[in-house]
Chain A
Amino acid sequence: MLYREAGQFKTTYAADQQLFPIRQDRVAVLALLAVAYVAVPLLAADYWFNAILIPFLVFALAAIGLNILTGYAGQLSLGSAAFMAVGAVAAYNLELRVPGLPLLVSFALAGVCAAFVGVLFGLPSLRIKGFYLAVATLAAQFFIPWLLVKVGWFSNYSASGVITAQPMAILGYVFDQPVERYLLVLTIVALLALAAKNMVRSAVGRSWMAVRDMDVAAQVIGIPIVRTKLTAFAVSSFYCGVAGALYAYAYVGTVQPEDLNLDLSFRILFMVIIGGIGSILGSFLGAAFITLLPILLEVGLHAAAGQFGLNLMPGTTSMVQLLVFGGLIIFFLIVEPYGLARLWQVTKEKLRLWPFPH
């Protein structure tokens, strides 16, 4: 009853083409934003901002980036974390070396730097596909952090190779409280997510999907393969780059390029698989799932062990985490290849028909 679009008539093209054509969706998105902007800052404690909400948003942005590449354009990449590293280091150097450059501009330019590097490593995609390409992106994952560490200039010749991000200041206002950092990240991520949602239904997005579904056929109907694949790499790396800059400035505060390693790339891939391949919403769901799951498991296992009077060997939870992660990936691939986002869609369909079963 609540979720029914009957009676909503579109009388203009603009109304028909808006981002969320159903009124309930618009209300839901606005409500969600209102919660994120008003309720969360009022209610959440520092722990939630520092350890859960900010990383969730940062990784969601990276997952959107990978989802654009893998979910929409069909090019598997195992190098997302490396592009994040490019973004983080680029933002640091822009802030350091260009005096007076506004912070948001350096974030955007950091994304552009990552996009350039992404295109460079995307070039092999013109000749190879599938897991050959996945292995090729591993080259980026191993080469880029090495380069960022070896060339002292990138870290301003810090002896240990660790970069410490400058304070985040916009128009003289310093964002240093957890809640302020959260709001800044939220704004950037929300805007970029809307942009992504808009992009994937545009001509560019549709050509990505055509290439994903069958590149030869796409070529035959006149879609320029080279440009399509490379824009996918560029846009995807841009998102990862901005995510990397946020990771450095809003989340951890320091960057060791070797931290943004293959493991993180895998986690971002898992967010996409579990959240939903080819879905912006799914990127958020997946990021939430992967960020929360380890914490829940640790807390839950300890609580359970306490309940039954068991003495867990220290470290057990981390191994159980690996087991559960691995198991879930397989489970999702078998049972629900489109991830959590698909579950949401199914729920929506059901709501539409409710209370009638069919």
Chain B
Amino acid sequence: MNTSKHAIIGLLLAAIALFAPTAQAQQAGTQFIGITGYRVGPYGANGAAFFSGFIDYLHLVNERDGGINGIRLSWEECETEYNNTKGVECYERLKTRAAAGPTAIHPMSTGITYALIDRAPADKIPLITLGYGRTDSVDGRVFPWLFPLLSNYWDAATGIVKFIAMREGGEAKLAKKKIVLLYHDSAYGKEPHPVLEAESKKLGFELRMIPVPHPGNEQQSQWLQIRQYRPDWVIVWGWGVMTATSLSTAQKMGFPRDRMVGNWWAGSEIDTEAAGDAAAGYYAASLNLAGRDFPVVREIQKHVLDKGKSQTPAKTVGSVLWNRGMAAAMMTVEAVRTGQGKFGKKPLTGEQVRWGIENLNVDAARLNQLGFGAMVPPIKVSCADHGGSGLVRFQQWDGKQWKAVSDWMSGDRALVRKMVEDSAAKYAAEKGIKPACLSS
């Protein structure tokens, strides 16, 4: 008994002693990138693929190019477990790690993004939310520090509607059709509601929205409702295990998979492989193409993976989320490069990086140069448009891999833009923000 008590006290003392080396400084002279990642918990598999890609690309920049214009990259990953309070802790920790700050934060969680919306501007740290987060933050005049790069949820929703219209043979054919939105019952799942309702009014299709409670590994009753309703299409707004379960339950209910379209978080190999045969035929909107057939993937293989610099499992390489993580890293790196053009070749502060993102312009030629080719659409960010692309591309799971079945296309940009501006203006009024572009 007594020894155990001593053990407890010893443990506590050891714990306190461990606190000493926490404040290790990052290597001076590098561009430090703070990464709030997650690899465990219900969504850990998705996070692991994304952040592996992110870090593998950072490795590539260091190994092949010796950094950005000679400024090497350093980084630290902090595990958030997709939990908002842990996310805040990680953010606060990473903030202190380098004098210049953590470059730009990719929260990879809509919840953590919301928790950081007020903190980031106060700390002058840009947030990049690639295909998630607060949709109306596309309006950079109200949200100068938020960058929902590429496309946002409303682009995705209208894009999916357009894709369905294409399959049906034109928007006119959508009238009287029935579409179900099967969504993850969380902030993330609710984002597309307003725009889909608007689309339904405009195009005349019947819309029914059915929530799936977290985590979504039981969907019998949702699919019974779908079976009774007999929709023409089901839009799957899933995350984590929910997507795979949707696919297998659809099979169980005899609903054709090639009448189901997921968004880009419900369209990775992780989802379809877990569903097995049930997934064949399923469509998903995507921000980026899957596959290894890109020069940049070969470069990473050569400079990073073959040299044992990374622990990424071989099968993850070239997957949808891994490629997306790589693209996210590429945009961060290019933003720093853009910023260096104005502020000089040195580690940049959050403010300078923010300018870099706002003036980011990666056109098709530059994408080819970087080895990305057609993996992601060209992107040109401006103060008014913090997204920079708005394009989506549809892929279909053929039972083994994702195959692109459409070109880069946009949804109803005018509608989305109007709703973004309305929503941002409402937010600005609530918060007392005067919409304006930051000059530097």
Contact = CB atoms under 8 A, between A and B. Distances in A.
- Given a CB threshold of 8 Å, the question of whether A touches B is answered with yes
Interface of A: 45-47, 50-52, 55, 146, 149, 159-162, 164, 251-254, 256, 258-259, 263, 292-296, 298-300, 303, 311, 313-315, 317-319, 331, 335-336, 340, 343, 346
A300 B18 CA distance: 6
Nearest to B89: A51
Contacts of A45: 96
A171 B79 CA distance: 39
B372 to A, nearest CB: 24
Nearest to A299: B22
A336 B5 contact: yes
A150 B48 CA distance: 31
Interface stretch (B141-149, B160-168, B185-193, B222-230): B185-193
Nearest to A342: B5
18 contacts: A51-B88, A51-B92, A159-B190, A162-B187, A251-B85, A259-B85, A293-B15, A295-B89, A299-B18, A300-B15, A300-B18, A314-B311, A315-B40, A315-B79, A318-B40, A336-B5, A343-B9, A346-B5
Given A47-B95, A299-B18, A303-B18, A256 B187 contact: yes
Contacts of A293: 15
Interface in B54-91: 77-79, 81, 83-86, 88-89
A122 to B, nearest CB: 25
Interface residues of B, number: 52
B5 A317 contact: no
A47 B93 contact: yes
Most buried by A among B9, B19, B187, B191: B187
A292 B16 CA distance: 10
A169 B213 CA distance: 37
Contact of B110 (A160, A252, A296, A336): A160
**Interface of chain A, main secondary structure:** helix
Most buried by A among B19, B114, B213: B114
B84 A315 contact: no
Most buried by B among A160, A253, A303, A346: A160
Contacts of A300: 15, 18
A159 to B, nearest CB: 6
Nearest to B122: A176
A348 to B, nearest CB: 14
A252 B88 CA distance: 7
A321 B15 CA distance: 14
Contacts of B25: none
A314 B37 contact: yes
A303 B21 CA distance: 8
A323 to B, nearest CB: 12
A258 B4 CA distance: 38
A315 B187 contact: no
A319 B37 CA distance: 15
